[in-house]
Amino acid sequence: MKVVVIGGTGLIGSKVVGRLQAEGHEAVPAAPNTGVNTLTGEGLAEVLDGASVVVDVSNSPSFADDAVMEFFRTSTTNLLKAESDAGVAHHVALSVVGTDRLQESGYFRAKQVQEDLIRDSGLPYSIVHATQFFEFMKGLADLSTVDGTVRVPPAKFQPMASDDVAAAVCRAAVAQPLDGMVEVGGPEALFLAELLRTALSAAGDPREIVTDPEAGYSGAPVDESTLLPGPDAELATTRYEDWLAAQQQ
Ligand SMILES: NC(=O)c1ccc[n+]([C@@H]2O[C@H](COP(=O)([O-])OP(=O)(O)OC[C@H]3O[C@@H](n4cnc5c(N)ncnc54)[C@H](OP(=O)(O)O)[C@@H]3O)[C@@H](O)[C@H]2O)c1
């Protein structure tokens, strides 16, 4: 089966391509540096020729509110139109657990627009909602840093390894379309501050981490459970401490 992976050179995309190829599929990475640009439409018709499934794990190069909205609105619109023209039978996209509860954040407003365009497209689809990746902890700390101090809300999250995210995306890609969403998460619910302390300490990063009830997540207010997946989520088994130990070997 030919599967085109939009963003197939990125963190999740390269793992998805590798896993699908190992399963015997013709998985084709598509990104600007392979000649496919969903913002301009360059190379899209050519790469989708003969494709059964498209997996979209691309991300915006800029997280500024206007830029990220422009990215997900334009690239998703172009991609869905090209898939419809090419007769693609299944669109799979990766989004984030809690997107609908984080609409005061520009990034999550853009992810919601991406999801709404997919749902309204008439194409068979599956949306995978994943929790935060273990690899994202430094990025999360950077986004939460004010005057050198990391300020995070007293919220729990249930992060997961990018390998487990890629496995979940691949399961969706080779299954029948859900015409709906599946949630995936890690095995442990932890406070943001707790995990960031472990992550920064392991990286030798001296920043202080403060729990601040006024701090939001990506600019959106959150309570203790906003970032947590629901009771039906598929939970991966890789624990953060074990993943971290493996990285340090
Ligand atoms: N971070 C988290 O914790 C988290 C949690 C849940 C879900 N997600 C979602 O996971 C997805 C993938 O994240 P990631 O960290 O794997 O992303 P990433 O490593 O930043 O990779 C992004 C990919 O998108 C490609 N891309 C950028 N502009 C493009 C364009 N105009 N046309 C086609 N491809 C383009 C990039 O190609 P180039 O390298 O050539 O630019 C790259 O292959 C995102 O949609 C994000 O919302 C993230």
Mean pLDDT of 236-243: 97
Read off the pTM.
0.97
Given this model, what pLDDT does residue 235 score? 98
The verdict on the CB of residue 59 being under 6 Å from ligand 1 is yes
Q: What's at 96, amino acid-wise?
A: V
DSSP character string of 29-61: EESGGGT--TTT-TTHHHHHTT-SEEEE----S
At 136, the pLDDT band (50, 70, 90 cuts) reads very high
Give the CA count within 13 Å in the CB-facing half-sphere of 161: 17
Residues 172-219: pLDDT tens digits?
999 999 999 999 999 999 999 999 999 999 999 999 999 999 999 999
Distance CA 69, CA 111 (A): 8
Residue 97 CB–ligand 1 contact under 6 Å: no
Any atom of ligand 1 within 6 Å of the Cβ of 13: yes
Cβ of 112 closer than 6 Å to ligand 1, yes or no, is no
**Confidence check: pLDDT of 148 > 90:** yes
6 C-beta closer than 6 A to ligand 1: yes
Residue-number span of the structural domain to which 9 is assigned: 2-247
**SS3 state at 66:** helix
Do residues 161 and 133 make contact, with C-beta atoms less than 8 angstroms apart? yes
Specify the residue with its C-alpha closest to ligand 1, atom 25.
7
Q: With CA atoms as reference, report the closest residue to 123 among 81, 162, 155, 94.
A: 81
Read out DSSP for 144-185?
Answer: TEETTEEEE-S-EE--B-HHHHHHHHHHHHHS---SEEEEEE
pLDDT digits (tens, 9 = 90+) for 210-220: 999 999 999 99
178 close to ligand 1 (CB < 6 Angstrom): no
Select from 50, 49, 47, 52 the least CA-distant residue to 34. 47
Instruction: Report CA(10)–ligand 1 centroid distance (Å).
Output: 6
Percentage of residues of the chain with pLDDT beyond 70 = 100
Helix crossing, 162-174 with 11-22: angle to 10°? 50
Residue in the structure block whose two tokens are 């990034």: 107
Tell me the pLDDT tens digit for each residue of 104-113.
Answer: 999 999 999 9
Ligand 1 mean position to 67 CA, how many Å? 14
Number of structural domains found in the chain: 1
Going from the Cα of 14 to the center of ligand 1, the distance in angstroms, rounded, reads 10
- Which residue's CA is the closest to the ligand 1 atom numbered 2? 132
Query: In this predicted model, what pLDDT tens digit does every residue of 44-99 receive, in sequence order?
Result: 999 999 999 999 999 999 999 999 999 999 999 999 999 999 999 999 999 999 99
CB 9 within 8 A of CB 34: yes
**pLDDT score, position 98:** 98
Determine whether the shortest distance from the Cβ of 7 to ligand 1 is under 6 A.
Answer: yes
CATH of the domain at 160: 3.40.50.720
Assign 3-state DSSP to the chain and report helix, strand, coil percentages, each to 5.
40, 20, 40
CA dihedral sign, ordered 197, 199, 201, 206? negative
Q: What is the pLDDT of residues 26-57, one digit of tens each?
A: 999 999 999 999 999 999 999 999 999 999 99
Q: What is the pLDDT of residue 249?
A: 83
Instruction: For residue 156, name the pLDDT band (cuts at 50, 70, 90).
Output: very high
248 pLDDT tier (thresholds 50, 70, 90): confident
Query: Can you tell me the distance from the alpha carbon of 145 to that of 33, in angstroms, rounded to the nearest whole number?
Result: 32
